[in-house]
Structure 1
Amino acid sequence: MMKTFKLVSMKIARNDENGRHYDEIPLNDGLVINKKDGENDWLLESLISSEHLERFQKLMEENHEQTLVITISKRTNTPAKLRASVSNVVELENDLISVLFSGKMASNRPFGNAEKILTELLDEGLDGEDLLQAFSAQWHKKQDQQESVTTK
């Protein structure tokens, strides 16, 4: 059984010579659907201004996965990352377009990150105080990266 949520904000990753940036896409409305298929598949439909038509048509033609940072249900909820590609763009009335994305939600498990970091450091042969210091440094670096994604 699928589960539907309101999409309240959407940012899309863009890379340029200065690194990765997240562009806020102003929404008129939006919907996020968890397909509940056991494969972590999600659908996202956003209703946005037709001024973005060319950008999303190009993304659909390129058929590359995009990184989206979305907020579901309430603006105060923690944003989530979605790796998705544009599967359809439809021009609507009132200078709006419907953009349909299909993709997978990225894990928001902070302890999953900790396990990964710890495993990598143990594989490097670290232990004791060296392990603790390296883990702490990498953990804080990851947290800072996540914070910069959600605040940009």
Structure 2
Amino acid sequence: MKTFKLVALSIVHGENVEKLELIDGLIINREYGKENWLIEILLPKIDPEKFQSILDNKETVNVQATISKPSNDPASFEVVIRNVAVMEDRMSILFEGELFRRNNNYPEKLLETLMENGFNGEDLLQAFKEKINEKPVLQKSK
């Protein structure tokens, strides 16, 4: 197993990325042959019901984790919540899941989508710069 410091975590909702207010976090590569990871985060006690509902409904969630230092590109994971622990003013969430890899033709697909949505000229360039840095989940690793 390999353990890393988690410096940022975001939940991906389709085209939208929700950055969580991370107090602390850790990510563990369990090295089971498949890309099996544990992610534990400590958050302020804000909306614990949302995370409990995801756990109760056994929903799959896409997240982006930035490991070791803020300047690293985020890695994308498909996870389920294994535990929600609510404390006095904080909460701990334990995720388990698999690493995803970005599709190699992502920039082309993004550009095509933006053009289909009516972007052109300087607006196209600005939208492309913003979206390319969001690095959404696109393709599961093999």
TM class by shorter chain equals 0.7 to 0.9
AA aligned to 1:12 is: I
Give the structure with the higher percent helix. Answer: 1
Q: Distance in 2 between matches of 1:5 and 1:87?
A: 19
Distance 1:107 1:150 in 2: 10
Choose which of 124, 132, 135 in structure 2 pairs with 1:147: 132
Residue number in structure 1 paired with 2:28: 33
Letter in 2 for 1:11: S
Separation in 2, partners of 1:76, 1:34: 20
Map residues 52-63 of structure 1 onto 2, 5 A cutoff.
52-63=47-58
Residue 5 of structure 2 corresponds to: 6
The equivalent of 2:99 in structure 1 is 105
Residue 59 (structure 2) aligns with = 64
Query: Bigger radius of gyration, 1 or 2?
Result: 1
Determine helix, strand or coil for the equivalent of 1:99.
strand
Give the ranges of 4+ consecutive aligned residues of structure 1 lying more than 3 Å apart after TM superposition: 142-146
Aligned to 2:39: 44
The 3 A distance-change label for structure 1 pair 33 and 146 is farther
**What amino acid is the match of 1:100?**
L
How far off its partner does 1:14 sit?
2.5
User: Is this contact kept in 1: 2:62–2:79, CA < 8 A?
Assistant: yes
RMSD: 2.3
Q: 1:11 to 1:139 in 2, by over 3 A?
A: closer
Identity %: 33
User: Are residues 1:92 and 2:87 paired?
Assistant: yes
Structure 1 unaligned residues grouped into runs of 5+:
115-137
Instruction: Give 1:83's aligned amino acid.
Output: E
Separation in 2 of the partners of 1:147 and 1:139?
A: 7
How many corresponding residue pairs? Answer: 119
Structure 2 gap ranges (5+): 112-127, 137-142
Q: Deviation digits for residues 49-95 of structure 1, max 9, x if unmatched?
A: 111311111111111111101100000001110100111001124x1
Matched to 1:103, the amino acid is: G
In structure 2, which of residues 70, 85, 92 is the aligned counterpart of residue 75 of structure 1? 70
Structure 1-normalised TM-score?
0.70
TM-score calculated relative to the size of structure 2: 0.75
Residue deviations 1:25-49 (CA, integer Å, cap 9, x gap): 0101000000011111000000001
Structure 1 stretch displaced more, 140-149 or 38-47:
140-149
